[in-house]
């Protein structure tokens, strides 16, 4: 029974004053019912060949990077690696739609996006190797540290984009989060702040089906994650996350819209995590081989390769060149990662505060003495 059906309910429901009326017709904000696709559709014909070729090369490199990093984990060179195999289209498109001055806010699974943006592959793995939490200067690459807590980097992206706009810079922030992360409070607060401030920020949700083992159906009751945008007053876009051209196009449009002052966009890319959550996870406990196999048939590299072949934009030589280029990248990565990291234990105290406190100076002296004793073999 609704309020209106209650006897005498009318007296409890005064007409809301004008300020209570919705400010915007929600219809333009709603995502399409089906994920947007480009590859294999008429929309592909209008796509610039150079962009498609670039996406293909980066996808192939990205896949190889994932397999190489996973192998390094098995060799004990990385503490952990959350593979993005199957999701490379999202990673690569996120990196390629940004200008140099823009900022990327990756989550822990988005190493690939950072590398595609130009970050040194070894620096990108520092967190996962364990020699330091962030192996690069975020300002140098405009890449925030890979964020391990869920969704907490999203308000950072909003704040940075807001600050840039206050300064008059046409900088856009693109923030990446997984489907599980959309349940976190910081996701909500970030989207709300972004919409209220009309901050130039794009939220990319990679819906890869699972938050470790919990499927999307247990994560949300929303029709789609893109639908969440409507409640905040920003457009939601649903896109096939394995269609590199579609992700590139949708993100490009969202970035352009943000840059011209149109405010934030929430993009949900529907994709799939082919590998387990990390090497420490047993994915067979929560999903069947059939499901994984079905998604393998919808592989981002194969989808793009087919399109390129159909349009005569790549031949077998081109495919081989891309694979060879990726193999060279992997070999270099393997070689560099097989060298032991050089660590300075005194770094522990170097960057806690701008100026070391007396307490930290004491503790640094203690460690220095312990190291000296260790060097002299004076170990208890």
Partner 1 sequence: MTTVAAKPATMAQALQRAMRDAMAEDPTVHVMGEDVGTLGGVFRVTDGLAKEFGEDRCTDTPLAEAGILGTAVGMAMYGLRPVVEMQFDAFAYPAFEQLISHVARMRNRTRGAMPLPIVVRVPYGGGIGGVEHHSDSSEAYYMATPGLHVVTPATVADAYGLLRAAIASDDPVVFLEPKRLYWSKSDWSPDAPAAVEPIGRAVVRRTGRSATLITYGPSVPVCLEAAEAAQAEGWDLEVVDLRSLVPFDDETVCASVRRTGRAVVVHESNGFAGPGAEIAARVTERCFHHLEAPVLRVAGFDIPYPPPMLERHHLPGVDRVLDAVARLQWEAEN
Main-chain phi, psi angles of 20, to 5 degrees = -85, -10
118 binds partner 1 (CB under 8 A): no
CA-derived radius of gyration, the chain: 24
Q: What does the alpha-carbon distance between residue 56 and residue 303 come to, in Å, rounded to a whole number?
A: 10
Residue from 173, 258, 329, 333 in contact with partner 1 (CB under 8 A): 173
For residues 237-255, one letter each, b for 16 or more C-beta atoms within 10 angstroms of the residue's C-beta and e for the rest, the string is bbbbbbbbbbbbbbbbbbb
- Least spacing, CB of residue 231 vs partner 1, in Å: 13
122 binds partner 1 (CB under 8 A): no
Q: Which of 37, 188, 286, 334 is catalytic?
A: 286
Residue pair 254/54 in contact by the 8 Å Cβ criterion: no
| Residues in the chain, overall count | 380
Report the candidate in 248, 210, 284, 342 with the shortest Cα–Cα distance to residue 53. Answer: 248
Tokens of 377: 């073999």
Residue from 285, 351, 375, 380 in contact with partner 1 (CB under 8 A): 351
**Nearer of residues 155 and 235 to partner 1, judged by Cβ:** 155
Burial class (CB in 10 A: 0-12, 13-18, 19+), 42: exposed
Q: Which of residues 142-161 bind partner 1 (CB under 8 A)?
A: 144-145, 149, 152, 154-161
Give yes or no: 273 in active site: yes
Burial class (CB in 10 A: 0-12, 13-18, 19+), 19: exposed
Main-chain phi, psi angles of 17, to 5 degrees = -65, 160
- Least spacing, CB of residue 159 vs partner 1, in Å: 2
133 binds partner 1 (CB under 8 A): yes
Give yes or no: 260 in active site: no
- Least spacing, CB of residue 312 vs partner 1, in Å: 45
Give yes or no: 351 in active site: no
- Least spacing, CB of residue 43 vs partner 1, in Å: 34
84 binds partner 1 (CB under 8 A): no
Q: Catalytic residue numbers?
A: 273, 277, 286
Positions in the binding site for partner 1 (CB under 8 A) = 132-134, 136-140, 144-145, 149, 152, 154-164, 166-167, 173, 185-186, 189-190, 192-193, 196, 347, 350-354, 357-359
């Amino acid at each position: 029974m609704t309020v209106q059906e209650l006897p005498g309910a009318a007296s409890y429901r005064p007409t809301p004053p004008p300020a209570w009326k919705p400010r915007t017709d929600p219809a333009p904000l709603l995502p399409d019912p089906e994920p947007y696709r480009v590859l294999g559709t008429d929309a592909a014909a209008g796509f610039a060949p150079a962009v498609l070729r670039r996406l293909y090369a980066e996808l192939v490199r990205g896949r190889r990077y994932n397999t190489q990093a996973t192998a390094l984990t098995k060799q004990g060179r990385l503490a952990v690696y959350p593979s993005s195999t199957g999701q490379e289209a999202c990673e690569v498109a996120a990196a390629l739609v940004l200008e140099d001055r823009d900022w990327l806010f990756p989550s822990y699974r988005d190493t690939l996006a950072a590398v595609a943006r130009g970050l040194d592959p070894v620096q990108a793995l520092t967190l996962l190797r364990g020699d330091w939490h962030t192996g690069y200067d975020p300002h140098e690459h405009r890449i925030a540290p890979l964020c391990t807590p869920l969704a907490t980097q999203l308000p950072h992206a909003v704040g940075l984009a807001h600050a840039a706009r206050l300064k008059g810079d046409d900088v856009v922030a693109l923030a990446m989060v997984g489907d599980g992360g959309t349940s976190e409070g910081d996701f909500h607060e970030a989207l709300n702040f972004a919409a209220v401030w009309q901050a130039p920020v794009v939220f990319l949700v990679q819906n890869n089906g699972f938050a470790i083992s919990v499927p999307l159906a247990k994560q949300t009751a929303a029709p789609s994650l893109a639908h969440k945008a409507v409640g905040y007053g920003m457009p939601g876009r649903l896109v096939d996350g394995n269609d590199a051209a579609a992700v590139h196009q949708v993100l490009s449009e969202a970035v352009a819209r943000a840059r011209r002052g149109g405010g934030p966009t929430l993009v949900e890319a529907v994709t799939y995590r082919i590998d387990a959550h990390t090497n420490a996870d047993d994915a067979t406990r929560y999903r069947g081989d059939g499901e994984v196999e079905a998604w393998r048939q919808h592989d981002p590299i194969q989808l793009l390769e087919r399109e390129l072949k159909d349009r005569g934009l790549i031949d077998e030589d081109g495919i081989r060149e891309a694979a060879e280029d990726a193999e060279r990248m992997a070999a270099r990565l393997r070689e560099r990662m097989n060298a032991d990291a050089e660590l300075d234990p005194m770094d522990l105290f170097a960057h806690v505060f701008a100026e070391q406190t007396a307490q930290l100076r004491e503790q640094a002296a203690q460690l220095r003495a312990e190291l000296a004793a260790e060097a002299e073999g004076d170990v208890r």
